[in-house]
Amino acid sequence: MEVAPVSVSIFEAIEKSIPEYSTFRENVVDGIRQALVKFVDRIAAPDSEPDPHDDIHRKLGAWEFKSGRSLDSLQAAYRIGARVAWRHVCGFAERRELSLRLMSVLGEAMIAHVDELVSLSVEGYAAAQASAAGTLERKRRKLMELLVGDPATSWEAVLDAAKAASWPMPDRLVAVALEPSAAPADDLPADVLVNFEDATPYLLVPNPAAVPRWLRRALPGWRAAVGLPVAPKDARRSLACARRVLALSQEKVLPEKPVLDCADHLVELTVLADEFLARQLAERALAPLAPLTDLQRTKLAETLLVWLSARGGAPEVAARLKVHPQTVRYRVNQLDELFGDRMHDAEERFTLELALRAHYLLLRD
């Protein structure tokens, strides 16, 4: 059986079923020729080991991936090639009057050989796929670093990185801060940028919609804080807010929920944006309470905050505090003596309420 004409015959049969291979005739014919040579060598020396460096069929698998195709066409080509090659083997056997036993051996050898070639191509395809995924992952990681990093980075450089990472730049995105976890994270949408390797892992979610809800499904077992929706140029601000909310939850200032949303905690974020200033405000504005005992200070501070926020009379304040209205009146009289006109000045009332909220948020210390 002559290898060269059989190679061409096999290619012509493949070409009829898979026309796109016509463009790469030389590569395909070379692969067929080498497959036939390997088969003949296998028959001549069945105990010989295959050459590990002879990787033309791995390259064919990689070529399929890089051409944007699945392995279906290549596997179909192998099946067509096996059928045509077997017809030539049968013709050769007939001319040589080979026995049925030898034909059986040849048939088994051909099936094993085709299986081996398919396995090599699958390996090549998988390797190319993994390499491309690794390259894309590195490019996306670089993009994330640019988006949340130094704001001095030119926006043109960010756009170039997004193009290289095959990531369409969205109009809006949110950052999601994650608490490190060993829980699975396999169900995220393909367009979500992920960084699980960072000491403080995070995601960047394009065109966000109902993120907290799907995040619970996609990352069971993780604790997360969803940042504020922003333009991509402000991604680092969204991430900073998300990380701050996650930290406040870890410090027991905010609830320990699986998923927190920054939009629900803007007051806390604002009041504690600078804890030094928040502490100074609380100490100065609430100085009249300082000389009191701890119990007196606790009761009067609690009453003052409810009185300021309720804007109602003693019965409403009493209902919130679950005390008698007369107790409220007594405490308010004490507060009037301590704070004087500040209790009835609009700007001072705002300052007092803000100071009290800062005071309670800082109590974790």
Is the pTM value of this prediction over 0.85? no
Strand partners, 260: 225
Q: What is the pLDDT of residue 53?
A: 42
Write out pLDDT tens, residues 120-148: 888 777 777 666 666 778 888 889 999 99
| Number of alpha helices (DSSP H) and beta strands (DSSP E) in the chain | 14, 5
Q: What is the pLDDT of residue 49?
A: 63
Q: What is the pLDDT of residue 51?
A: 57
Q: What is the pLDDT of residue 46?
A: 66
Q: Return the domain boundaries, the chain.
A: 3-134, 170-271, 275-364
CATH 1.10.10 fits 275-364, yes or no: yes
Blockwise average pLDDT, block size 10, the chain, 365 residues: 75 81 77 78 67 66 77 82 81 78 79 81 75 76 89 85 90 93 77 86 87 80 91 94 93 89 91 90 92 91 88 82 90 90 89 90 72
Write out pLDDT tens, residues 199-227: 889 999 998 877 777 787 778 888 999 99
Q: Which CATH class name applies to 3-134?
A: mainly alpha
Q: What is the pLDDT of residue 287?
A: 93
